[in-house]
Structure 1
């Protein structure tokens, strides 16, 4: 799994951070945006969280579009995410990952 923590834009004081990455076991990119809340003013709460289901977010551009309004975007982020996905091509689930997938989804695919 890859993970990139991104810094909020200056005009987004209610955003603590955002995270994007590639989840190989779920075969999806993911995006999270953490907003300040009364209960969590420093850590924030992930009020936007996509990419928790198998194959939900299939392209780096999809997750970048989710977080772009809120954070400073590195110009090469899509390229890095694509490279991280390609590095996992052909990798198989380990015994524990396969068991978790069967338990959660009824299948390892």
Structure 2
């Protein structure tokens, strides 16, 4: 089971970014992605941040949320949802 939440940007400057966070059961890690689809993929790539792609990379929910915080408007229930996703996947 994998959870995935698309998160809104924190302001108009970042509103073009694709921000995602979730729990990946097979890898046993939270994951975060911040992608910029306006960047030239061949030159710079769309990726601004991508963590949680390897086994047990991000184990603490607060660490995952902190990684996207510079760009994202963090919903008040996100932390609880992510913790529940991890518990339910056991």
TM-score (norm 1): 0.71
Deviation at 1:11, TM superposition (A): 4.5
Name stretches of at least 5 consecutive residues in structure 1 with no aligned partner. Answer: 90-109
Name stretches of at least 5 consecutive residues in structure 2 with no aligned partner. Answer: none
Relative contact order, higher structure (CA 8 A, sep 6+): 2
Structure showing greater Rg: 1
RMSD of aligned C-alpha atoms? 1.9
Number of corresponding residues: 86
Quote the Cα distance in structure 1 between the aligned partners of 2:71 and 2:57: 21
User: SS state of the match for residue 8, structure 1?
Assistant: coil
Q: Deviation above 4 Å: which 4+ runs of structure 1?
A: none
Deviation at 1:16, TM superposition (A): 1.3
User: SS state of the match for residue 22, structure 1?
Assistant: strand
TM-score (norm 2): 0.84
Quote the Cα distance in structure 2 between the aligned partners of 1:77 and 1:14: 19
